[in-house]
């Protein structure tokens, strides 16, 4: 067993994945979480499209929601356009996750305008969780409220009522009780090339074949996410091999550090994004 110093990892990672990246597994006060992820000088109104996607990813991580449940193409917009969306727009675009996104964004807008006062609210992430039953739809499918009607609520962002009316998203977490699965973590790195500084790369995008470039760095990143500093590539690869049986991954014979998504892996195809 070996514990690799974080400096090794940090040296291989960009600032996005580096020590400034606050991992969602650690509970924290909402404003703290917000300020750590998104500094006040980076107001959502001025985000680029990429920053919007980064924010989406962070919120998904924060709430341990499978990122494939979000039709990212519905958020192909910059920060200015994002900020002009209404609460209903978020529900239309992201279904049951919409309210979570709405509140997160609203809080960010607030923190940009009133950074001092917001700190007194003590709103924890779970208070921003979706109050609605899970309404699942295939990844990539645009949410249609006429098919999956949701109760309309009009919570006031950052209001004390949020504490009462919002509970943990049991239904959302149901499919993923321990947070992001390893294969989803790998997939998300692959799907976010900007956040993937040469850790893993596609070998054959259409076939779902990918290769680890920095296997130990990926393992450390996974360990960091799971709050396990002793994670190694050897252990990570063992978990990867268990996916063969479940057909989440397929063997790629004769090639080291190369894996292929199997029939049960979702959300990696370009058409699914």
Comparison of 170 and 263: residue with beta carbon closer to DNA: 170
The nearest distance, CB 244 to DNA, in angstroms, is 6
Comparison of 37 and 236: residue with beta carbon closer to DNA: 236
The nearest distance, CB 239 to DNA, in angstroms, is 4
- Cα–Cα–Cα angle for 101, 224, 42, rounded to 5 degrees: 40
Distances in Å between the Cα of 21 and the Cα atoms of 1, 12, 36, 220 are: 26, 14, 8, 14
Q: Which of 181, 174, 147, 138 is nearest to 273 (CA)?
A: 138
- Name 179's Cβ contacts closer than 8 Å, sequence gap at least 6: 24, 25, 64
Instruction: Round to whole Å and give the CA distance between 262 and 224.
Output: 26
Class of residue 262 by CB neighbours under 10 A (exposed 0-12, middle 13-18, buried 19+):
middle
Comparison of 187 and 195: residue with beta carbon closer to DNA: 187
The nearest distance, CB 25 to DNA, in angstroms, is 9
The nearest distance, CB 152 to DNA, in angstroms, is 25
Comparison of 35 and 266: residue with beta carbon closer to DNA: 266
Class of residue 78 by CB neighbours under 10 A (exposed 0-12, middle 13-18, buried 19+):
middle
The nearest distance, CB 97 to DNA, in angstroms, is 17
The nearest distance, CB 207 to DNA, in angstroms, is 17
Comparison of 11 and 156: residue with beta carbon closer to DNA: 11
Running DSSP on this structure, what letter comes out for residue 23? P
Comparison of 74 and 129: residue with beta carbon closer to DNA: 129
The nearest distance, CB 223 to DNA, in angstroms, is 7
Cα separation of the two ends of the chain: 38
Comparison of 40 and 246: residue with beta carbon closer to DNA: 246
Beta bridge partners of 261: 249
Binding site for DNA (CB under 7 A): 1, 170, 173-174, 177-178, 181-183, 215-216, 222, 226, 228, 230-231, 233-239, 241-242, 244, 246, 251, 253-254, 256-258
Class of residue 184 by CB neighbours under 10 A (exposed 0-12, middle 13-18, buried 19+):
buried
Residue 231 C-alpha from the chain's centroid = 21
């Amino acid at each position: 067993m070996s514990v690799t110093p974080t400096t090794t990892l940090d040296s291989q990672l960009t600032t996005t994945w580096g020590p400034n990246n606050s991992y969602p597994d650690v509970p924290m006060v909402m404003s703290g979480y917000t300020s750590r992820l998104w500094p006040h000088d980076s107001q959502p109104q001025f985000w680029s499209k990429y920053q919007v996607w980064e924010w989406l990813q962070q919120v998904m991580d924060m709430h341990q929601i499978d990122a494939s449940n979000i039709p990212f193409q519905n958020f192909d917009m910059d920060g200015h356009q994002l900020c002009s969306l209404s609460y209903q727009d978020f529900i239309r675009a992201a279904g049951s996750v919409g309210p979570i996104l709405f509140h997160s964004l609203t809080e960010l807008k607030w923190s940009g305008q009133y950074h001092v006062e917001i700190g007194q609210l003590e709103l924890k992430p779970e208070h921003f969780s979706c109050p609605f039953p899970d309404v699942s739809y295939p990844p990539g499918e645009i949410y249609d409220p006429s098919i999956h009607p949701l109760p309309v609520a009009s919570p006031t962002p950052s209001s004390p009522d949020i504490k009462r009316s919002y509970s943990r998203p049991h239904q959302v977490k149901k499919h993923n009780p321990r947070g992001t699965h390893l294969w989803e973590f790998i997939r998300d790195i692959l799907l976010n090339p900007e956040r993937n500084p040469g850790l893993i790369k596609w070998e054959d995008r259409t076939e779902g074949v990918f290769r680890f470039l920095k296997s130990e760095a990926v393992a450390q990143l996974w360990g960091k996410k799971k709050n396990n500093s002793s994670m190694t590539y050897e252990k990570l690869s063992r978990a990867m091999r268990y996916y063969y049986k479940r057909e989440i991954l397929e063997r790629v014979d004769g090639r080291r550090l190369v894996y292929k998504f199997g029939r049960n892996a979702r959300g990696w195809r370009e058409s699914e994004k």
